[in-house]
């Protein structure tokens, strides 16, 4: 059972814990640099000022397990991100359920036409997640894959297209 609420300043310690978890962050960035409470406070201050970002905290029952969101939101499109920060919750279908919620939010609530994302080629769980929801590859670099999903190609009920 997942529950989703808007991302709050009080989530900063969890962001730090999740983003610094080596079992979770290995395909998130190229450097081994850790984040800190101070860096996440700055991220949050900028986030609260930005009309182009919307982030959410994901719960499994009463346990916060990760976060996800949209950034670079325009009238037509946005970029997506998801992180299940508690690794014991990986592989249980919660990432997919949460991401479906985020797709519905983008396409139905925000009325966007296109949702995009970027994923490291080695991030097999994330690639499976995105392809299973109908995302198509638009570009590949040596390390990254860029994908998009158009509203017209998403049926809103599990992405079976």
Which residue ranges make up the site for ligand COA (CB under 6 A)?
24, 27-28, 66, 82-84, 90-96, 119, 123-126, 128-129, 132
Which residue's beta carbon is nearest to the bound ligand COA?
Answer: 95
- Looking at the Cβ atoms of 111 and 139, the one nearer to ligand COA is 139
End-to-end CA distance of the chain: 25
* Rounded (5°) CA angle 76-161-58: 65
- Looking at the Cβ atoms of 66 and 111, the one nearer to ligand COA is 66
Which residues make Cβ contacts (< 8 Å) with residue 70, sequence separation at least 6? 53, 54, 55, 78, 79, 80, 81, 102, 105, 106, 110, 115
- Looking at the Cβ atoms of 83 and 115, the one nearer to ligand COA is 83
């Amino acid at each position: 059972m997942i529950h989703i609420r808007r991302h709050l300043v009080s989530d900063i310690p969890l962001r730090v814990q999740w983003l610094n978890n080596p079992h979770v962050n290995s395909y998130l960035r190229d450097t081994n640099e850790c984040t800190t409470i101070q860096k996440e406070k700055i991220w949050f201050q900028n986030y609260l000022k930005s009309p182009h970002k919307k982030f959410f905290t994901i719960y499994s029952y009463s346990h916060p397990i990760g976060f996800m969101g949209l950034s670079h939101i325009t009238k037509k499109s946005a970029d997506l991100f998801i992180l299940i920060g508690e690794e014991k919750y990986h592989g249980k279908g919660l990432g997919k359920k949460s991401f479906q919620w985020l797709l519905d939010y983008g396409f139905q609530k925000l009325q966007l036409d296109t949702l995009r994302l970027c994923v490291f080629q080695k991030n097999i769980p994330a690639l499976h997640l995105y392809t299973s929801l109908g995302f198509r590859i638009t570009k590949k670099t040596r390390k990254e894959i860029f994908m998009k999903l158009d509203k017209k190609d998403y049926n809103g009920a599990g992405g079976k297209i």
